[in-house]
Structure formats: structure tokens, C-alpha cells
Amino acid sequence: MNYSRCLSSRSSDLLVLIAACVILVPIGWIVLAAFKSNVDVFQLKLFFSPTLANFATILDPPYVIHHKLLNSAIVALVVVVVSIPIATLAAYSLSRFKLYGASFMLTAILATQFIPAVTIVLPFFLMFRSIGMLDTLLALILIHTSIVMPYAIWMIKGFIDGIPIETEEAALVDGATRLQVIRNIVLPMAAPGVITASIFSFILSWNEFMFALVLTRRDAITLPVGLALFNAETGVQWHLLAATSLIIMIPMIVLALLIQRHFVQGMTMGAVR
């Protein structure tokens, strides 16, 4: 009995180790490559003379990665700032009010995300071209908002569903208006969900590639698209690509560390409801 339990524990440890390797080895390679010179990149040695030259190079023309970093940051932040309040109010309405066709609406909202991006990117390209919005941050913000909104609505709704209705009714009877109820009662209680949805929306927008690739050319290029710049005629500049990848990853890692507690609580609470 003990032997088999021990064996099972060992095998699950081994599986976790393999999974961790699969995930971490590429990340580790990128981190190391970001500080290696071009010639060192293909040598899998762990000890080398680290250099910051790659980061200096990607800031210079023709790469000007800081410009793309700024674009990514503006788009992701504006998407979060715009979509989360709207998603919260939509989620509240869908959770609390008897709306005609509410369940259809909820399914329809999510169903929009089942359509592969590649099939609708061309109509969007034509549409934005005809109204002169190609290669603008506004176009990306609009598209990214439409991408993150369904997920945000579903996530936040799960949390609001979990708030006892009596708590809100108590506040209404205590003299609060509906908006006061949302601000004073619902938002603080659904905070883990709202934070989770915000992080998720930020990540979705930050990592989005397909629309950014097709709808931008020069001025509104974001970081993921910027990576393509390193595929030069002389071959892929892996050391520069790794340095840029590291810059893309850092905000995600910092975000995850800062709000890990909310994120875990958010994901699990959303899951059980």
C-alpha cells in the first residue's frame, strides 16, 4: 500500500518535473540568449560573458523597440481601462436583472470568440482601410476591446453571481442607489474577479499578434509584431529577438508576482461558481 502510494507520488513528481522543463527550458533559453552575443547564442553553454549590448541595439533604428513597447503599453492599458468598467456593468446587468434573451446574449457574446481570428482579419483590414484607420492605435484598441470583452464579462459575471443577493438588497433598503450598491458593495466583493479579468485582458491585448500584424504597418506596431523585424535577410537575429522577448515577458512576470494572490483566488472562485 505504502509502496504503491510512494511510487504514485514519485511518478507525479516526475510528470511535474517534465512539464516544468517543457515550459521553463524555452524561457530559460530566451533569458540566456538575451544576454549573449550573436555568436554565443547557438552554443548551449550556461557560462558566458553577459552583455547588455542587445538591449542597446534594439533601441536603435531600425528596431526602436521602445516605440513598440509604448504602443503595446498604451493599447493594453486603454483596453483594460475601457473594457473592464463596461464588462463589469454588463456582467452586473446579466447577473442581476431579468433581461429578455439574457442566456442567448451570454452565449452569443462568447460565441464571437469561437470564430478563428484569421477568418475575420481581412474584413477588418478592409473596413479600417476604408475609414482611414489602418496603422492607428485606435483601431487596435477597438479590436482588442472586442476580443477581451466577452472573457471579461463571463469572468466578472461568475463573481457577481456568487455575491449573495441579500447583501445588495440590504444596501438598497439601507438607502443606497443602484450605482452606490455597485460601487460600495458589488465592486469590493467582486474585486478578485475584476482584477483577474483585468490581468487576463491585459495579457490578451499585450500578446495579440494576428490583428496587430495585419492592421499595423509602421506607426502602431506592437511588440509581438516587432519580433518579426528580426527575421532579416541575413537570417533570424536570435540574440535581438531574445532581448525583445524578454521585454515582452517582463511585464507579465511582474504582474503575476504582484497580484498572484488575487489571480489564484480569482481563477478558483470563478471555477467553482
Partner 1 sequence: MASIRLENIEKRWGSFTAVQRQSLDVADNEFLVLLGPSGCGKTTTMRMVAGLEQPTAGDIWIGDRRVTHDLPKDRDIAMVFQNYGLYPHMSVADNIGYPLKVRGISRGRREAEIRKAAAKVELTHLLDRRPRELSGGQRQRVALARAIIRTPRAFLMDEPLSNLDAKLRVTMRAELKHLQNELGITTIYVTHDQIEAMTLAHRVAVMNEGVVQQIAPPDQIYDRPANVFVAGFIGSPPMNLIHVKAENDLLVAENARVKMAAAMPAQDLILGVRPEDVSLCAQNEGSMRGSVFASELTGDSVLVTVQVGSQRVLAKQDRSFRIDAGAPVGLRLNENRLHLFDAETKERLP
Sites of contact with partner 1 (CB under 8 A): 164, 166-167, 169-177, 180, 184-185, 188-189
Give the residue from 226, 232, 198, 197 showing the smallest Cα distance to 212.
226
Q: Which is nearer to partner 1, 129 or 183 (CB)?
A: 183
Instruction: Tell me whether residue 158 or residue 224 sits nearer to partner 1 (CB atom).
Output: 158
CB of 160 to partner 1, least distance (A): 14
Residue whose CB is less far from partner 1, 107 or 184: 184
3-class secondary structure, 273: coil
Number of residues in the chain: 273
Least distance to partner 1, CB of residue 101, Å: 17
- Residue placing its CB nearer to partner 1 in the complex, 40 or 161: 161
The region, left, alpha or beta by phi > 0 then psi within -120 to 50, assigned to residue 135 is left
Closest CA to 151 of 116, 118, 198: 198
- At 27, list the grid cell: 524561457
- Quickly tell me which residue has 455575491 as its cell: 163
Smaller CB separation from partner 1, 60 or 169:
169
In angstroms, rounded to a whole number, what is the distance separating the alpha carbons of residues 259 and 254? 9
User: Smallest gap, in angstroms, from Cβ of residue 184 to partner 1?
Assistant: 8
CB of 166 to partner 1, least distance (A): 4
CB–CB of 163/243 below 8 Å? Answer: no
Q: Whole-number minimum distance, CB 176 to partner 1, in Å?
A: 5
